[in-house]
Structure 1
Amino acid sequence: MKVSFFIDRPVFSAVISILIVIVGIIGLQMLPIDQYPQITPPVVKISASYPGASAVTVSQAVATPIEQELNGTPGMLYMESNSSNSGGFSATVTFDISADPDLAAVEIQNRIKLAESSLPAEVIQNGISVEKQAASQLMTICLRSDDPKFDEIYLSNFATINVLDLLRRVPGVGRVSNIGSRYYAMQIWVDPAKLANFGLTVQDVQNALKDQNRESAAGVLGQQPVSGLDITIPITAQGRLSTVSQFEEIVLRANADGSLIRMRDVARVSLEASSYTTESGINGGNAAVLGIYMLPGANAMDVAEKVKETMEEISKNFPEGLQYEIPFDITTYISESIHEVYKTLFEALVLVIIVVFLSLQSWRATVIPIVAVPISLIGTFGFMLIFGFSLNIL
């Protein structure tokens, strides 16, 4: 093609330039703003708990059945699992980079359902979680207080009840993790010596808990085929227990002489932390730590701004003495990188203008790069979108 082709056809050149600018503007509007482009393969994480079991027991009773079902999952590259002496089990399944994370999570969930028939009842009762593992953490939010009455357990429980669900509903947020994960739970500390004196076992205690701490349909009075009654009344029975005193009154055994052996006779019941395997804090003080992960391809700047607005709204209902802070925010780096982009583009354009003017000594010739450089840069955004790059790595 001759060099003068576009020079001799200014209207055609103008139309091509306008099209390039339109494509670039569309790309600029659709480009994600992330720290890095999405080049990591999708990962799905499975978590389960078998309370009181050793790592060997968890490996044999939980890990083996799940791994047997997960093997051969379409698109799976490899799998890694871990069993701990605290009864915890976790597995991460890595898929091919072309796999859809949502479909991968659904496929894993379906295979976990097939494995449930081979798992202990306690594991199924505690629940098996399947979630997409986000590639990078967007920010960390800490709920903290200098008031001693707001201890770590209270803060973690407060965050779970009042903060987590609201943050999960923010558009672009993929997952919110309570890193400390310490919630209130009713703990029953059994004394083995007292159990032995009464001829009871831990299994007897578990059976009593299951029988006397559950919701049940008690029935209805006056229901058909009873005749002669104009009203039906549902029978309401006590459901799940909620206080320490109620748990202490659980009957473990009724003797022939009419005496009763209750939970308080063989165990100490207290409302405290559900787990003591993890702790969270900041600057030496108690804190609930929340990790915010965004969806792949989401605009990090936009998501972070909405998360901050949501936290500002939630904090209006915080009890006096409780506040939040954001010790880690990846958008700080992204903002600086975008600022450097603007700075570099401006410096490059000024240098081009100066060099062209000093070389050609003509303002008319200098106008050409003044127009051509912005058009070429704007058009670059369209190609960046096609190749899957993010705006801040320009």
Structure 2
Amino acid sequence: MRLSDISVQRPVLAMVIAALIIAFGSLALNRLPLQEYPTIDPPIVTIDTRYPGASASVVETRITQVLEDRIAGVEGIELITSQSEDGRSQIEIEFGIDVDINAAANDIRDRISGALRNLPDDADNPEVTKADSSEEIVVWLSLSGEEYSITELTDYANRFLVDSLSVQPGVARVRVGGGSDYAMRVWVDRNALAARGLTVSDIEDALRAENVELPAGSIESEDRQFIVRLPRSFANAEDFQRLALNAPRTPSLNQGESGYLVRLADVARVEVGAVEDRSVFRSNGVPMVGLGMIMQSTANVVELSEAVQVELERLQGTLPEGMSLSLNYDASLFVSGAIEQVVMTLFIAMGLVVVVMFMFLGNLRTTLVPAVTVPIAVIGAFTALAVMNFSINLLTLLALVLAIGLIVDDAIVVLENINRRMHDYGETPLVAAFRGTRQIAFAVIATTLVLVAVFVPLSMLQGDIGRLFSEFALTMAAAVVVSTLLALTLTPMMASKILKPGMHDSRIGRAVQWLLSGTQRRYQASLEWMLTMRWLVVALFVLLIAATAWLATILPNEYTPQEDRGNFIVLVNGPEGATFDYMMDYMDEIETRMTPLVESGELERVVVRAPRGYGNIENFNSGFIIVNMADWGSRRSAWEIMAEVRQTLSTLPGCKPSL
């Protein structure tokens, strides 16, 4: 074959090809994102519309159905689910896994813009958000301080921490959880308001009309120009207290029925407070504010975690006295641990391959050729991963581990044929490399095409399974193709330079050959016996097939195996209409019952969050608890701990905790 001939004639060319494979593979390896599994979650777009004061049935007919009719024709939609409740409509649109989420969100916004005129005037504009698997929070930091309120912690996090963490490599955005922003709280005195002939609507109208900044034009001279600004916004509680209320029914504007000027302080108590104080976010009983790092879709979770921890160390020195910032959760610990185990398996597999080749080939020079080509083929496969926009994950690494046995086949076949021609025909290594590689080149290519034909169709499967196995199958196919290229270039070149005429097997090689000869004799004897007992052999074969089929039916089935990730979540659901105080009594009790496990050292942290969700929360009958366990080697398994927690919480009345 011309490719192998050129490689033997011009060894520098073969070395350059191998060097390019290593260079491009190493470059791709450093740039590939690191994930636990391939991205299989479909792109999802959500539409959130609020209609204050409307019942669930009104929201369903006036908002949800109107929006569903408008978006139903968008291309690529797989499923639409909606939920209508008092004052709120939520629609979730799931697209096909190959749909661009940005284009899908734009299509939804375009459709919704045409439906705005059909929505009630009092309803807020629909809010369209997009979500995919990269929206998962991979690192949680907790900001706490006994001397600070939750609003103070939230304000500090938003002003000094969010921006610093958002610019770290791999961070898409930072979500603040469990916090509450500052708000001006107006506590209306209904009796005082009624005595002055005013209503709450009058207060709302006055706030909207007065708490604004309006442009007042400009002043120009011959050589200067000034912009005039009329500051009318309120900066503190005293400004709000002096607000004059509008009373249209009185003889004079901003005066009550008695004719006196009515200010907000006359009918209400004004103070700085929190937007929502009916929420709790605490760790081991300590109130805190969480900062969650959301990873970019192409980022490396381990590098992101390292960058955030470096920034965390820097931020520690800038915190006010009495305030602390600590790492609460790090998803990279499990991912990096799992990846390290697979990588270790990969190196062990390559090492065992080299040892086995030495035992059977019986010579160090002969063993050196496949020992060099196998790692190069593995490195070259990463280039294909980058071209196909894959990631380094458990499945792609598993594919490389399994592909080692296929990768080494090509080099062994070529090398064995070259070695055979040297011994049988007395050819020099150079001539044997020419003729031996040319003799079996098409057989090697045919074998590779057969393997590719086996694996590539797996990438055409639909759904989540297809997405998972596509990266697995194509990675194996890419590794086999690279190994074939090396078998036809680098292998014959190295054989022509390394192999020597008259090489003898080592003692280990001779011992292995002696064992193989004995095995061959015993196999021949057993084969002769089986040929005389044909019906018995056929019966045993049928019995094995039947036993295999029976075992396949009784083995448990699951999508993915259960894994001890070092944490678990307790979801708590209370009765419909339960208040925040009602739920907190149960959350406190659950936290108390789990305290002994924290004191024993098996649990590191119990994080309580109530109610569930982010942003504007209207239902308070839910909560959840994130349980972080100690290191794997210093505790029982996660399932044993979860069973104990489940038993401990089973006697809790009035709510339904689930793990």
> When the two structures are superposed, what TM-score results if normalisation uses the length of structure 1?
0.82
Please state how far the C-alpha of 1:164 moved relative to its aligned partner. 1.9
Which segment drifts farther, 49-58 or 334-343? 49-58
Q: Which has the higher helix share?
A: 2
Per the alignment, do residues 320 and 69 of structure 1 end up closer, same or farther by CA in structure 2, a change over 3 Å counting? Answer: farther
Shift of the 110–164 alpha-carbon distance from structure 1 to 2, 3 Å rule, reads farther
Alignment of 1:310-389 (within 5 A): 310-389=311-390
> CA 1:201–1:371 in structure 2 vs 1: closer, same or farther (change >3 Å)?
same
- Please give the secondary structure, in 2, of the residue aligned with 1:130: strand
Match of 1:248 among 222, 241, 249: 241
Q: Judge conservation of contact 1:216–1:239 (CA < 8 Å) in 2.
A: yes
- Deviation string, structure 1 residues 216-241 (Cα, Å, up to 9, x no partner): 23455x669xxxx9988765534211
Per-residue deviation at 1:259? Answer: 0.7
Structure 2 residue 259 is matched with structure 1 residue 266: no
Cross-structure match for 2:464? none
CA 71–191 in structure 1, closer or farther in 2 if over 3 Å, else same: farther
Matching of residues 161-172 of structure 1 within 5 Å? 161-172=159-170
Report the equivalent of 1:217.
215
Once residues 322 and 305 of structure 1 are traced to their aligned partners in structure 2, the CA distance between those partners, rounded to angstroms, is 23
Aligned residue number for residue 171 of structure 2: 173
Counterpart residue identity of residue 332, structure 1: L
The residue aligned with 1:98 is: 98
State the SS of the aligned residue for 1:261. Answer: coil
TM-superposed deviation, 1:163? 1.8
Distance 2:224 2:256 in 1: 40
- Post-superposition offset of 1:199: 2.6
Quote the offset at 1:184 in angstroms: 0.6
- Report the Cα offset of residue 183 of structure 1: 0.6
Question: Percent of aligned pairs with the same residue?
Answer: 32
Deviates more, 1:98-107 or 1:110-119: 110-119
Alignment: residue pair count: 383
1:241 partner letter? F
Alpha carbons of 1:44 and 1:305: their partners in 2 closer, same or farther (altered >3 Å)?
farther
Q: Which has the higher contact order (CA 8 A, sep 6+)?
A: 1
Task: Report deviation, 1:100.
Answer: 1.9
Please tell me whether the aligned partners of residues 153 and 179 of structure 2 are also in contact (alpha carbons under 8 angstroms): no
Instruction: Give, in angstroms, the shift of residue 172 of structure 1.
Output: 2.6
Contact kept, 8 Å, 2:150 with 2:179, in 1: the verdict is no
Structure 1 position 319, deviation (Å): 1.0
Q: For 2:29 and 2:300, how far apart are their aligned partners in 1?
A: 12
Equivalent position SS for 1:260: coil
Could you list the per-position Cα deviations for residues 158-181 of structure 1 after superposition, in whole angstroms to 9, with x for gaps in the alignment?
212222233333343223211224
Shift of 1:268: 2.2
1:286-312 Cα deviation digits (max 9, x unpaired): 111122111212222222233333333
1:78 is matched with 79
2:129 is the alignment partner of 1:136: no
Residue 256 of structure 1: how far off its partner (Å): 6.2
Aligned to 1:255, the other structure's residue is in SS state coil
Query: Relative to structure 1, is the Cα distance of residues 233 and 6 closer, same or farther in structure 2, using a 3 angstrom cutoff?
Result: closer
Rounded to whole Å, the distance in 1 between the matches of 2:58 and 2:32 is 49
- Mapped to 2, the partners of 1:122 and 1:261 lie a distance apart of 31
Give the CA RMSD over aligned residues. Answer: 3.4
Which amino acid letter does the alignment assign opposite residue 202 of structure 2?
A: D
Q: 1:295 to 1:183 in 2, by over 3 A?
A: same
Matched, 1:283 2:284: yes
Contact 1:33–1:390 (8 Å) recurs in 2: yes
CA displacement at 1:323 relative to structure 2: 1.6
Change (3 A) 1:48 1:309: farther
Q: How far apart, CA to CA, are the structure 1 residues paired with 2:57 and 2:358?
A: 77
Paired letter, 2:348:
E
Mapped contact 1:76–1:94 kept (Cα < 8 A): yes
| Partner of residue 196 from structure 2, selected from 180, 195, 198 | 198
d(CA) in 1 for partners of 2:326, 2:275: 25
Provide Cα deviations, 1:78-108, integer angstroms capped at 9, x if missing partner: 33344555x5554433222222223333334
Inter-CA distance 232–114: structure 2 relative to 1 (3 Å threshold) = same
1:98–1:59 Cα change, 3 Å? same
Cα offset, 1:213, TM superposition: 1.2
CA distance in 2, matches of 1:192, 1:13: 90
> Which amino acid in 2 is paired with 1:248?
Q
Q: Distance in 2 between matches of 1:260 and 1:326?
A: 55
TM-score by length of 2: 0.52
SS in structure 1 of the partner of residue 215 of structure 2: coil
Determine the C-alpha separation between the residues in 1 that align with 2:8 and 2:171: 52
Q: In the alignment, what sits opposite 2:649?
A: none
Conserved 8 A contact 1:182-1:279: no
Pairwise CA distance, 1:16: 5.3
Q: Which runs of 5+ in 2 are unaligned?
A: 248-254, 398-659
CA distance in 2, matches of 1:60, 1:207: 30
Residue equivalent to 1:239: 232
Any stretches of 5+ residues in structure 1 without a counterpart?
none
Cα 1:363–1:219 shift into 2, 3 Å: closer
- Cα distance in 1 between the residues matched to 2:47 and 2:212: 28
Greater alpha carbon shift after TM alignment, 48-57 vs 361-370: 48-57
Q: Indicate if the aligned counterparts of 2:358 and 2:367 stay in contact, CA closer than 8 A.
A: yes
SS of aligned partner of 1:241: coil
| Change in CA separation of 1:107 and 1:216 when aligned onto 2, cut-off 3 Å | same
Aligned partner letter, 1:213: N
Alpha-carbon distance in structure 2 between the residues aligned to 1:194 and 1:151: 32
The answer on whether the counterparts of 2:64 and 2:89 sit within 8 Å (CA) in structure 1 is: yes
Corresponding residue SS for 1:141: strand
Distance in 2 separating the partners of 1:348 and 1:286: 49
Judge which range, 253-262 or 200-209, deviates more: 253-262
Deviation readout 1:344-380 (Å, 9 max, x if unpaired): 2332232222222223332122212311221221122
What one-letter code is carried by the residue in structure 2 that aligns with 1:95? F
With over 3 angstroms needed to count, the CA separation of the structure-2 counterparts of 1:300 and 1:73, relative to structure 1, is: same
Pair 321,45 (structure 1): closer, same or farther in 2 beyond 3 Å: farther
Deviation sequence 1:42-92 (CA, Å, 0-9, x none): 22344455566655565566545544544333333333344555x555443
